Structure 1
Amino acid sequence: MTALVQDAGVGGLLRDWRRRRRISQLELAMRAHSSARHISFVETGRARPSEEMVLRLAEHLQVPVRERNALLLAAGYAPRFTETALDDPAMAALRDGLERLLRGYEPYPAVVVDGTYTMVAANSGVTMLAQGVARHLLAPPVNTMRLALHPEGLAPRIRNLPQWRGHLLEQMRRQLALTRSAALRELYEEVDAYPVPAGGHDPAAPAAVPGFALPMVIEHAGAVLSFVSSIATFNTPMDITVAELAIETFLPADPATVAFLRTRDSQ
């Protein structure tokens, strides 16, 4: 009979991540070039996975970088991934690159956020849209979900708020399915409970733009602007801070928005 070589700590964690991803032991084994028998033994604590196997399984299970350290610790290994503050001198090149990217995207809005939607950096396009927002929502640290959905934030000016709100909440739910972040769960529960401002919203607004993506349709300075957003992250990050950064850019969804922003930029 095979003796237990460790407690079920790392095995239980890996089994939980596998079930979250709805992957069978056989499928995971094939992806990781292992065997279903070995995966079973790891999950039940009958086999101790090597450090390389822990990282390989974590990669194929799309375990967030922060959680990969927890897996390594549970398996008896040292954490592999550092967490460097963004204002650390070692991050100077990253900060400079992000600032150049944001400036280069102007006059269109662009913002960098961390894993709980705290604003790390933003360009003048975001500053423009935030005009008129309650001061307490703009006091650092600014949270972009609060900024968008709070009744004193952008929400009253978003013409298709029910649809855009639903999109943002679903985005957060998908992220919660990939992480164990208590802070993110708390934020989700907070913004989900915000009352939806009544009046002023046009549910038909999205039909006025091409149907390739749901736009955010927002009133600003007497104009109605439409944006579709895209989110970019870093490939193969080796630092937790970098792994949790996301760059969201807002692309004009109609000619009127392009014209408004170009006119404003030329003034």
Structure 2
Amino acid sequence: MTTATRQRPVGQLLREWRDRRRISQLDLAIEAEISTRHLSFVETGRSQPSREMVLKLGEHLDVPLRERNQLLLAAGYAPAYAETGLADPEMAAARQAVRQLLTSHEPYPAAVVDRHWNLVEANTSIGIMVENVDPSLLTNVLRATLHPDGMAPHIVNLGEWRAHLLGRLRRQVAQTADPVLTELLDELRGYPCDQPVPDVEIPAPGDIIIPLRMRHHGTELTFFSTVATFGTPLDITLAELVIESFFPADTPTAEYLRRGWQDTRG
């Protein structure tokens, strides 16, 4: 069976993305500046959308670039978005920007992951977080964090942090419908946890973030994190990169990290 015969109709795919985004036909038609009748005909296969129409609907539905290519293929058009390897010459400026962000964040940990949470690159300070992790787990950040042979035994608030990460992954699955992420979510849910895992993130009095609390050589360190992405990517690889930077959430953690950084640099 060929790829063409396996491919579902573009109208069916668009309908699924619209349902996933919980947008009515009327609202999408207004946003895309087309008639509801025309959109209905596209979704039912009674009308063949132009290449520009597929791209416009994909943009208004916030379909990831990789999946927009699939919409184009389903409609009989060539993909619009390239997927360039990070090692390719065209990516030199992007690689430099990523490395600059990682280096400038020292002595605090930072890492770059792809859409499946596979580790792409990290700065030196990430070592303080993964020092006791089984090396076979280091390729994937979520496995390295929640697996019992990973960071999990050293995370003080494991139940809370686990709920936070699984919540992020659930939202990503809903956003992308990626089967690899769905399998990863099922795998992570099966990992043991000796702490209660809250169903809903309810802040305690005075809380403004969910911290990561972990032990390192008998010292409890507390972090919060920020996430950065490329602002206007037109390449699938760049669109799927995420830079997560960890910051000390209290003065003792900041001082501990600075001392450790100075010691390593002599």
Note whether the superposition's TM-score is higher than 0.5: yes
Is the CA contact 1:151–1:197 (under 8 Å) kept in the aligned structure 2?
Answer: no
Q: Which one is further off, 11-20 or 226-235? A: 226-235
TM-score normalised by structure 1 residue count? 0.89
Q: Counterpart of 1:214?
A: 210
The whole-number CA distance in structure 2 between the counterparts of 1:64 and 1:215 is 29
Shift of 1:180: 2.9
Structure 2 gap ranges (5+): 1-6, 197-202
Check conservation: 1:8, 1:44, Cα contact below 8 A. no
* Deviation, structure 1 residue 221: 2.0
Deviations 1:224-256 (A, max 9, x none): 111111211112311111111101111211111
Counterpart for residue 182 of structure 1 = 179
SS of 1:178 mapped into structure 2: helix
Is residue 143 of structure 1 aligned with residue 110 of structure 2? Answer: no
Moved over 6 A (4+): none
Q: Which moved more, 1:114-123 or 1:251-260?
A: 251-260
Q: Check conservation: 1:8, 1:43, Cα contact below 8 A.
A: no
Identify the residue that residue 164 of structure 1 maps to in structure 2.
161
Q: Secondary structure at the match of 1:70?
A: helix
* Cα distance in 1 between the residues matched to 2:23 and 2:130: 43
For 1:23 and 1:183, the matched residues in 2 are separated by 25
Aligned counterpart, 2:231: 235
With structure 2 as the length reference, what TM-score do the two structures score? 0.89
Match in the other structure for 2:62 = 62
Shift of 1:89: 2.2
Distance 1:236 1:25 in 2: 27
- Match for 2:25: what amino acid? Q
Tell me what 1:193 maps to: 190
- Alpha-carbon deviations, 1:172-225, whole Å to 9, x = none? 1111111232222222211111111469xxxxxx869x5111011111122111
C-alpha displacement at 1:65, in angstroms? 0.6
Task: State how far apart, in whole Å, the 1-side matches of 2:9 and 2:108 are.
Answer: 47
Residue 31 (structure 1) aligned with residue 31 (structure 2) = yes
Question: 1:197 and 1:119 mapped to 2: Cα distance?
Answer: 26
Shift of 1:136: 2.3
Distance in 1 (CA, whole Å) between partners of 2:140 and 2:215 is 21
CA deviation after TM superposition for structure 1 residue 147, in Å: 0.6
Output the CA distance in 2 between the equivalents of 1:48 and 1:152. 52
Aligned residues: 251
- Residue in 2 aligned with 1:96? 96
Write out per-residue CA displacement over residues 22-60 of structure 1, whole angstroms, 9 at most, x where no aligned residue. Answer: 000111111111221211111111222111111111111
Is there any run of 5+ residues in structure 1 with no aligned partner, and where? 1-6, 200-205
